[in-house]
Structure 1
Amino acid sequence: MVEVLSPAITRFVRAVGPESDETLREMDEYAEREGFPHVGPEVGAFLRFVARLADADRIFEFGSGYGYSAYWFADALPDDGEIVLTEVDEDELDLAREYMRRGGYHDRARYELGDAMETIDRYDGPFEVVLIDHQKHRYADAFEVVRSKVPVGGVVVADNAITAGPIEFERLLELAEGEEPDDVNEHTRGIADYLERATGDPAFETIVVPLGEGIAVSYRIQ
């Protein structure tokens, strides 16, 4: 994981943020041990905060991995709330089931094995919160298919809005400033396309928050 904030600031944000429970700490240890690129506790706490502010009853994730972000989200849902986890790796989805069960959130979760872009077509809205965290070159397409399912007051969050392993930040910055650099890889181009699509949508107000690897937060205003 490539941190946007300095190590000291990251430590500070973590120190003053909400505490993780035992299961979340185990999930963090799993990510470190396996080299899994999860969002981390700072972003996880922010996602839960967003879900609380949106008074979320239903949440959809484009890409759930082993359930780390879903676990944070689920704590903000009412007992009859719903979060849809999507994942193409069956082993990761099984692990997500186990962690959600251990946290007491299993009854709020629906687990979908397969392509999130196909899964969303089977669900009607509304979803008060949507997380986009799958293949970067498909971010803009995900926004397009889900935007109509997000009500006024709802939020779309996209991870890796600033950096990640394959994202070239200098080229991303040039694209954001209207330049057209050469040899932009599909991951960087995908994030740039997403940000252009989200910020250009008059129904949403979008900002980028420099936590974790950067998260774009789009609030539906109309």
Structure 2
Amino acid sequence: MSDVLPEEVTALAEAVGPEPDELVEEMDARAEREGFPTVGPAVGGWLALLARVVDARRVFEFGSGFGYSAYWFARELPADGEVVLTEVDRDELEDARTYFERAGLADRARFEHGDAIETVTEYEGPFDVVLVDNEKSRYVEAFEAVREKVREGGLVLADNAVTAGPIDRTDVLALLSGESVEASDASRGIADYLGHVREAEGFETALLPLGEGVAVSVRRD
């Protein structure tokens, strides 16, 4: 169950969204079994839709785990498209590679082991979609590292914009409102990010309150 929406609403979002395939169902089962955080099929469907809306050809992810969100993106890319997966855990990255190979999508993916913010400096833009899902305290750093590489009309998506683990959305809202509260580093990181993109020149941001919350920022110029 999502901590953002009632279970029935999440189930409805999943029912209306794109149909998960057998590999998505397998990864969902793994996430449930291992307690591994993924965006889930409701948000995965939105990632796929947003990629399709902006006619995405190149996607970059800050933090990919075993490839769940990247797989939703990859299914929407053209044959010559590219999604860049980054992950500090080598085993998880290799699992992602295996999933992509089984799906016949490995030729449209690049698997980068190491720090995502260091990795993005090695890439030139433009990117059509960027997903920020690394350490919450480094979200602003990730955004600044990639913002000039996002094309006009492209998207920067940030997961966990409402909740996840040590993130307290009440604290996030209080911090955004300028209040002084004792909050976790993760909550402060999310509040800093939301405040930063809200004021970022050339970007417009809205919140998708599904899953654990996704901040959607579009580059206007």
Q: Equivalents in 1 of 2:85, 2:33: separation in Å?
A: 23
Map of 1:94 onto structure 2 = 94
Deviation at 1:3, TM superposition (A): 2.7
Cross-structure match for 2:212: 213
Partner of 1:61: 61
Q: Contact 1:2 / 1:163 at 8 angstroms: preserved in 2? A: no
Q: Measure, in 1, the Cα distance between the counterparts of 2:43 and 2:103.
A: 19
1:16 and 1:3 map into 2 onto residues whose CA distance is: 20
Does the aligned pair in 2 maintain the 1:2–1:165 contact within 8 Å?
A: no
Shift of 1:2: 4.7
Alpha-carbon deviation of 1:54? Answer: 1.2
Which residue number in structure 2 is paired with residue 127 of structure 1?
127
Query: Which stretch has the larger CA shift, 58-67 or 94-103?
Result: 94-103
1:169 to partner: Cα distance: 1.5
Report the Cα distance in structure 1 between the residues aligned to 2:185 and 2:3, rounded to whole angstroms: 21
Q: Which residue of 1 aligns with 2:81?
A: 81
The one-letter code of the counterpart of 2:22 is: E
SS of the equivalent of 2:11 reads helix
Further displaced range: 96-105 or 114-123: 96-105
Whole-angstrom distance in 2 between the partners of 1:31 and 1:114: 22
Match of 1:122, SS state, is: coil
Alignment TM-score, normalising by the size of structure 2: 0.98
Q: 1: distance between equivalents of 2:111 and 2:10?
A: 32
Structure 2 residue matching 1:30: 3-state secondary structure: helix
2:40 matched to which residue of 1?
40
Distance in 2, Cα, partners of 1:103 & 1:28: 16
Task: Give the whole-Å Cα distance in 2 for the aligned partners of 1:2 and 1:192.
Answer: 20
Q: CA deviation at 1:119?
A: 0.3
Counterpart check, 1:196 vs 2:195? yes
Judge conservation of contact 1:61–1:85 (CA < 8 Å) in 2: yes
Distance in 2 of aligned mates of 1:187 and 1:206: 20
State the partner residue of 2:51.
51
Q: Is the 8 A contact 1:204 1:221 kept in 2?
A: yes
1:169 counterpart residue number: 169
- Kept after mapping to 1: 8 A contact 2:17/2:46: no
**Which structure 1 segments of 5+ residues have no match?**
none
CA separation in 2, counterparts of 1:7 and 1:93?
A: 30
User: Runs ≥4 in structure 1, deviation > 4 angstroms?
Assistant: none
Gaps of 5+ in 2: none
- How far apart are residue 104 of structure 1 and its match? 1.6
Letter in 2 for 1:188: S
What is the root-mean-square deviation in Å for CA atoms of aligned residues?
1.0
Contact 2:127 2:149 in 1 (8 A): yes
- The residue type equivalent to 1:137 in the other structure is S
Partner SS, residue 4 of structure 2: coil
| Alignment check: 8 A CA contact 2:2 2:10 kept | no
Q: Which residue of structure 2 lines up, in the alignment, with residue 104 of structure 1?
A: 104
